[in-house]
Amino acid sequence: MQGSNDILTKGIKQLKILPLAAMFLIPMSGFAQKNDSKTNNDRIGVNYKQRHSKQSQNNLYADGIKIKRDLSIIKETQEERILAEDEIPAEELYGGIWNNRYVNAYRSIESIPDTFKVNLANFTMPTMGHVTSNYGVRRLRRTTRMHYGIDLKVQVGDTIYAAFDGKVRLKQYERRGYGYYVALRHPNGLETVYGHLSKFLVEEDQVVKSGDPIALGGNTGRSTGSHLHFEIRFLGNPINPTFIVDFDNKVCHRDSYLVTASSYNRSSKGVDIRNISSSATASRSKANVQNKYASGKVAYHRIQKGDTLGAIALKHNTTVSKLCKLNNITAKTVLRAGKSIRIS
């Protein structure tokens, strides 16, 4: 009985202690909750700041992308505007001449620059075909004739591309020569000619970009098989394309080329546009064409029967070596009566 009373007394004491413990523990739990809440709030603040910082970086990154996009659009617009519709490429170099009939319509130009630097940066191969015939003299059965370009193998219908940015100066047909052909004038000062075509893909006076399709390959004109006849000219004078283009690797040798008197043999097949009165064949021209890039006045001597380089040099107060350099000849070159030789 005594044992039961002791258990009961001990239980009552425990019951008395419970309210006191509850009163003590409730504030402690509240304090703990308050601390957790404070910790969570602090974390929320830190997280918010991190998100804000990250958002700013994203905004800067987005602004950078927008700037690059805008610059890209500006660049594309500048690239698209190669030439205005009524603009003549290299107009000052060519004295304002823009002729839609003749490949070499520049005999009226009184002077040619001694040197001229040509930018080749945006070159495109007209076709990827291999070389089938080189620039130079061709020996036929009974005669010889000059081959002013280089032939590249194509199949009829293969696409032909513009070598540089430029403008279509002429598209014509020549039965005993080029066949269907296109000539482009480029802002870098060169002209390129594409012959033996089967179809035109451009119109005269059309602006084209390097690599644009301009025609289809063919076998027209004086041709014994389908190929592209490709010429590079400067003021009407043909330049050996291999001086400029590495046809094995399909690129230019350098980013620029310096045209000098030794770059070409002066073509004698030019047309004097001062003798052309029809506006249909010479859309733009000037009666007396000067070249601002040439230094000094250029003069010529018409060769008479019996003339020698020594006699011509003595007559015009110059030297044989200067005559040879100006005309890209040697002291042993045979002079032909009726031809002209540059003396200054």
Q: What is the percent of the chain with per-residue pLDDT over 70, rounded to a whole number?
A: 66
User: Residue 50: is its pLDDT beyond 50?
Assistant: no
Cβ neighbours of residue 182 closer than 8 Å, sequence gap 6 or more: 168, 170, 171, 193, 194, 197, 200, 202, 214, 215
Highest mean pLDDT among 37-41, 87-91, 120-124, 306-310: 120-124
* For residues 40-63, average pLDDT: 49
Residue 158 binned pLDDT confidence (cut-offs 50, 70, 90): very high
The whole-number pLDDT of residue 31 equals 47
| Distance separating alpha carbons of residues 144 and 213, to the nearest angstrom | 34
The whole-number pLDDT of residue 40 equals 46
Secondary structure of residue 193 in the 3-state scheme: strand
**Residue, of 181 and 77, whose pLDDT is higher:** 181
User: Residue 282: is its pLDDT beyond 70?
Assistant: no
**Residue, of 85 and 77, whose pLDDT is higher:** 85
Residue recorded with tokens 């006045």: 297
The whole-number pLDDT of residue 37 equals 45
* For residues 16-23, average pLDDT: 56
The whole-number pLDDT of residue 141 equals 76
The whole-number pLDDT of residue 48 equals 40
CA atoms within 13 A on the CB side of 265: 12
The whole-number pLDDT of residue 142 equals 78
Structure tokens of 21? 């413990």
Partners of residue 109 on adjacent β-strands: 289
User: Residue 220: is its pLDDT beyond 80?
Assistant: yes
* For residues 190-197, average pLDDT: 98
| Distance separating alpha carbons of residues 14 and 48, to the nearest angstrom | 49
* For residues 73-86, average pLDDT: 61
**Residue, of 294 and 282, whose pLDDT is higher:** 294
Cβ neighbours of residue 335 closer than 8 Å, sequence gap 6 or more: 303, 307, 308, 309, 341
Residue 342 binned pLDDT confidence (cut-offs 50, 70, 90): confident
* For residues 47-54, average pLDDT: 43
Lowest mean pLDDT among 106-115, 119-128, 248-257, 262-271: 262-271
User: Residue 170: is its pLDDT beyond 90?
Assistant: yes
- pLDDT single digits (tens) 66-77: 666 666 655 554
Residue 218 binned pLDDT confidence (cut-offs 50, 70, 90): very high
Lowest mean pLDDT among 140-144, 186-190, 338-342: 338-342
- pLDDT single digits (tens) 226-250: 999 999 999 999 999 999 999 999 9
* For residues 96-125, average pLDDT: 89
